[in-house]
Structure 1
Amino acid sequence: MTTVTYQINKEKLEKAAYILKTVAHPTRLAIVDLLSQNEKLSVNEICEVLQCEQSLLSHHLINMKLKGILRSEKDGLNVFYSLKEKDVIKLIECIEHCDCNY
């Protein structure tokens, strides 16, 4: 009989699960990918690139901001978003390099 050893960093796994749950939507993943390539973008810029309705996009942006993934700053009438949780970029990189068969 073999003895199975397993060391777990529960805090790290909980953080990863939290991030995954927060970005587990194609539009949210696209937002993260876009912001990983651009330091900050306005809602209108994100909307234009992703060709998404502003109301739907705003819903996703606010949700990710409330959960600590994004930050926002207001400049006049524009709101600019950027990545607050930089570790989420690693997730995008994994997805881009994944050769999943589904």
Structure 2
Amino acid sequence: MKVSELNIDQLEEAASMLKAIAHPMRIAILNFLEDGNKMTVTEIHQKLQIEQSTTSHHLGILKDKGVLCSKREGKNTFYFLKHERLSSIVDCISQCTV
């Protein structure tokens, strides 16, 4: 699909998602969730070595903007990429910063 084929609502949604991703910790979260990985808040905050409340805040933003989804299993909530294609954004960023 070409940008010229997108309507204004789709462009607004894409811009909103990119704004949500545009934070170092959120890029790291996307990186952890590549390849269909699912992780809990606890697993993510331990990997990032930041407070759990801060991790929850970042996850909430990503979920609110349609970047992530979550699924509750027992006491745990697992987060994962809403669209696996989003992992290509992380790949692109990684290649562009070398």
Q: TM over 0.5, yes or no?
A: yes
Query: Is 1:26 matched with 2:24?
Result: yes
Could you give the per-residue CA deviations for residues 42-68 of structure 1, whole angstroms, max 9, x where no partner exists?
Answer: 111111111111001101101111111
Return the offset for 1:38: 5.4
Match of 1:46 among 34, 44, 47: 44
Return the offset for 1:21: 0.7
- Count, aligned residues: 94
Tell me, in whole angstroms, the C-alpha distance in 1 between the residues paired with 2:18 and 2:96.
16
Tell me, in whole angstroms, the C-alpha distance in 2 between the residues paired with 1:34 and 1:71.
14
Could you give the per-residue CA deviations for residues 12-64 of structure 1, whole angstroms, max 9, x where no partner exists?
Answer: 98254232111011111100011015520111111111111100110110111
Aligned to 1:57: 55
Check 1:16–1:87 CA distance in 2 against 1; reply closer, same or farther (3 A cut). farther
In structure 1, runs of 5+ residues without a counterpart are 1-6
Query: Is 1:8 matched with 2:27?
Result: no
Larger CA Rg, structure 1 vs 2: 1
- Residue type at the aligned position of 1:41: M
Q: Identify the structure with the greater helix proportion.
A: 2
Secondary structure (helix, strand or coil) at the match of 1:52 reads coil
Tell me the percent identity: 40
